Structure 1
Amino acid sequence: MNQKNILILGANGFIGQALQDKLNNENYIYCLDYTYTNEKKESNSKYQVKLDITKEEDVVKFSQYLEKNNIQIDAIVNLVGINTMSSFYNITDQDWDRTFDLNVKSYVFFLKAIYSSFAKQVAIVNVASQNGIVGHEERIAYGPSKAALIQLTRNLSIDFLKDRSRDIKINSVSPSYIKNESNESYLNSVEGKKLLQKIPYKKFVSISDVVNVITFLISSESDAIRGQNIVVDYGYTII
């Protein structure tokens, strides 16, 4: 992989941090996350930016930074999302709007804001979820928002064909339950073991499983894959 300018949205989560480690040696990474306390240059290959994708002033400021410094973006990984735990019976207007605003709407307009800084060839990966494919309790807003992100990926793949000056490849990745530090105790519990029995291959997805698919989709090795949703779930969604 040749050196690229890569944006990671939601870079401070467990997937984002692992992805930084995977890409750090060969690329310049712009790590965007609302949880950062300030903006700083971590190294010669990484720049942290405090950015809330739902705030127009943050997005405008970053797009102006890209234009001012003549930075051409080669790849974007979208890890931003909120998982609201709610059902039909307790969902509120505020929770519904907040979920779709962050998981879908704000991302669309972020892409529009930085579009002028797209390179001639761009790879975009959206991280969706198995909940955008199959039904699940307590995911009345989250599941549909991730299904919308998957469909958005398809529609953008077609729309981007209108710009003949660029080759924009966009795909999505839908992971199953990802074992990490925050849920390891639950997945090892009795309830977690019951959950494991629903998975045909009796394995939980690892962080590296997801990161490996993302890096493949960024690379030129996946050039023929366009507008697709790659499911990483050890078979959870096939039964």
Structure 2
Amino acid sequence: MGRLAGKIALVTGGSRGIGEAIVIRLAEEGADVAVNYTSDSSRPKAEAVAAEVRRLGGRSIVVQADVGSREQVMRMFETVEKELGQVEILVNNAGIAPFEPFMKVTDETWDRTYNTNVKSIFMCSQRAAASMIEKRYGKIVNVLSTASLVVTSPVIPHYQSSKAAANMLTKGMAIELGKFNINVNAVGPSTVDTDMCTDYLADDEIRRKEIEANPMKRLGTARQIGDAVVFLASDEAMQVNGHLLMVDGGLTVKAAQPDDHMER
């Protein structure tokens, strides 16, 4: 049996990239998984991910919702509870990173970024925690970023600040919900080669610099993020709470310095 056998999970933004990998890893460990997606164009991908969960032996549904809307979040949970049961593992994975320098960031971009990257965590976690408190059991895992800790680019200040806010939200929820046997943690990926980064990594020079900047001299993979989520969602992490697990090859602990400095 898998580490998550019989558990019911919901993954926001689960139709592609890191979200898809998380869904598959949860299913491989025995969980039944609800796959959230936002737009009509993403439904075929979400259905394909759900089909893979079923192939692995689990139950799965797809559920459309803009997780930045409380009304849609409430409907999403109602659907999941009706079709699968109460959510025991919530993975807040949905996120956006529109590239715009600070002086060009509009109110619309700012609000959309915070609604998706921060407010969605607040609303989904608040709704999930209501039933978790009753059961005295639950796991909430937020997918954050190296940008939660350091400035990763000069053209995404809104994204970086939103991820830092989500990091503190994680810690605050962990303290308040811990007494109900609910673990709240986060994972912090560095650059992962998914469709979200396709255009960015299409530039060979940027790809080379990303790899060279990482102490492991490689990009991360979506499955590695899924592995970290599985650990935090499992009973192996029962005493891990309020933690941001960096899955970044050591990037955020390495100070910037000339490339040859560490070789001498």
Question: TM-score scaled by structure 1?
Answer: 0.88
What residue is the counterpart of 2:38 in the other structure? 34
Match for residue 145 of structure 1? 162
- How many Å separate the matches in 2 of 1:200 and 1:66? 41
- State how far apart, in whole Å, the 2-side matches of 1:229 and 1:62 are: 27
Distance in 2 (alpha carbons) for counterparts of 1:185 and 1:59: 31
5+ residue gaps, structure 2 = 256-264
Deviates more, 1:134-143 or 1:19-28: 19-28
Amino acid at match of 2:223: S
Instruction: Report % sequence identity.
Output: 26
TM-score (norm 2): 0.81
Mapped partners of 1:214, 1:159: distance in 2:
21
Letter in 2 for 1:134: V
In structure 2, what is the equivalent of residue 124 of structure 1? 140
**More strand by proportion, 1 or 2?**
1
For 1:28, the aligned partner's letter is D
1:79 aligns with 2:93: yes
Contact 2:90 2:140 in 1 (8 A): yes
Tell me: CA distance 1:199–1:52, structure 2 relative to 1, closer, same or farther (3 Å). Answer: same
> Structure 1: how far apart are the matches of 2:78 and 2:237?
31
SS in 2 for 1:124: strand
Is 1:95 aligned to residue 112 of structure 2? no
Superposition deviation, residue 219 in structure 1 = 0.7
In proportion to residue count, which structure has more helix? 2
Unpaired segments of 5 or more residues in structure 1? none
2:48 is aligned with 1:45 = no
- Relative to structure 2, which stretch is displaced further, 6-15 or 39-48? 39-48
Hey, what does 2:27 align to over in structure 1? 24
Give 2:209's match in structure 1, choosing from 190, 194, 215.
Answer: 194
Hey, what's the Cα distance between the residues in 1 that align with 2:122 and 2:204? 39
Please say if residues 70 and 117 of structure 1, whose CA atoms lie closer than 8 Å, have aligned partners that are also in contact: no
Q: Figure out how many residues of one structure are paired with residues of the other and give that number.
A: 236
Q: Which structure 2 residues correspond to residues 133-172 of structure 1 after superposition, within 5 A?
A: 133-135=149-151, 136-161=153-178, 164=179, 166-172=180-186
Q: Tell me the equivalent position of 1:215.
A: 230
- The alpha carbon displacement at 1:183 in A equals 3.0
Listed one character per residue, the Cα deviations across residues 144-199 of structure 1 (whole Å, up to 9, x for unaligned) are: 000011111000001114xx5x3100111111011235539936712321232222
Shift of 1:69: 6.5
- Cα-to-partner distance string for 1:32-83 (whole Å, 9 max, x where unaligned): 1113449977545111111111233322223334565792221111111110
Residue 4 (structure 1) aligned to one of 3, 7, 11: 7
Structure 1 moving runs of 4+ over 6 Å: 38-41
SS at match of 2:186: strand
1:175 is the counterpart of 2:189: yes
